[in-house]
Amino acid sequence: MQPVPFPHDALAGPGIPRHARQINTLSHGEVVCAVTISNPTRHVYTGGKGCVKIWDISQPGSKSPISQLDCLNRDNYIRSCKLLPDGRTLIVGGEASTLTIWDLASPTPRIKAELTSSAPACYALAISPDAKVCFSCCSDGNIAVWDLHNQTLVRQFQGHTDGASCIDISHDGTKLWTGGLDNTVRSWDLREGRQLQQHDFTSQVSSGRPRAPQGGKRPGRAVELVALFRA
C-alpha cells in the first residue's frame, strides 16, 4: 500500500454536509486531546489535562461546562473518551494504566468501574457496534480487548512494536484497524483473533479510518484506508 492524493470526491455524496458554520466556542482553558459528542447532539465532552469537561450546547451562548469529571492526576492528559450508544456511560483513557468508566445517569456523574492494564498509558479507544466490548490502544503497542459487562480483559492483540496510537472498527464488528508509532497500520480479524494485514509507512500514523467500498459491498470489507501521519 502506497500513499495517494486525497480523492477530490471523498467528501461528496448524499448525506454528507457541504458547508459548516461556527455556532459556539467552548473555552476548555488548555490543550484538548479528546472530544466526543452525544447523539442526539446536546452534550460535548472535551478531555484535557486531568479531566473531562461536559458542555450543554443546546443552550445558546453557554460559556461554562455543566460538569467536570476528574479522571487522572492533574499533570496527565486525557487521550480518548467514548460514549456508549445509550449516552449513559462514558469511558475515559489517557496517561495512566487505568481506564475509568463513568455513570452519567446518576444525579452526579461518578466512576462505576475501572479497567487496569499493564501499559502505562492508553492513546485511543473504540467501542464495538453492540457496545459489549471496548478496545484500548496501549502505549506498549498492545490492543487490549475488554468485556464491558464483566469488566475483564479478555484478549490482547500483539504486533505493534511501539505505541498503538489510533483505532477503528468495521460497521459489522468483525475487523479492527490500528495505527501505530511504529509507522504501521494493521488490520485484525476479531472472530479469529489474528492479524490480517500490515501496511508500512515512512512516518508515525496518528489517525486512520477505513473508507467503505463503493458499489453496495458488505460493510466491513473496506479496500481503501484514509490515514494521517506525523511529519
Amino acid at 116: T
Q: How far apart are alpha carbons 52 and 45 in whole angstroms?
A: 6
Domain extents in the chain: 28-101, 117-231
Peptide bond into 40 cis (omega under 30): yes
Superfamily for domain range 117-231: YVTN repeat-like/Quinoprotein amine dehydrogenase (2.130.10.10)
pLDDT of the residue at 12: 78
Pairwise CA distance, residues 25 & 217, whole Å: 40
The Cα–Cα gap between 148 and 15 comes to 32
Question: Alpha carbon of 36 to those of 45, 100, 119, 190, 219: distances in Å?
Answer: 5, 15, 24, 25, 23
- Residues present in the chain in total: 231
Kind plus residue range of the DSSP H or E element containing 94:
strand 89-94
Residue-level pLDDT at 63: 84
Q: Cell 490502544, residue?
A: 137
The pLDDT tens digits for 178-212 are 999 999 999 999 999 999 999 998 888 887 666 55
Identify the pLDDT of residue 220.
Answer: 37
**Mean pLDDT of each 10-residue bin along the chain, 231 residues long:** 66 80 88 95 95 91 91 94 96 98 96 96 97 98 98 97 95 93 95 94 80 45 48 44
CA dihedral 143→185→223→11, nearest 10 degrees, is 100
Q: Which pLDDT does position 2 carry in this prediction?
A: 55
Which pLDDT belongs to residue 85?
A: 94
The pLDDT tens digits for 28-50 are 999 999 999 999 989 999 999 99
Percent above pLDDT 90 for the chain: 71
C-alpha cell at 188: 485484525
Q: Would you state the cell numbers that stand for residue 104, as one nine-digit string?
A: 452519567
10 CA to centre of own chain: 22
Strands 224-229 and 205-211, bridge-based pairing: antiparallel
Q: Which residues contact residue 109 at a Cβ distance below 8 angstroms, ignoring those fewer than 6 apart? A: 54, 67, 69, 90, 102, 103
- Report the SS3 class of residue 72: coil
Picking from 24, 109, 22, the residue whose alpha carbon sits closest to that of residue 59 is 24
Q: Coil, strand, or helix at residue 49?
A: strand
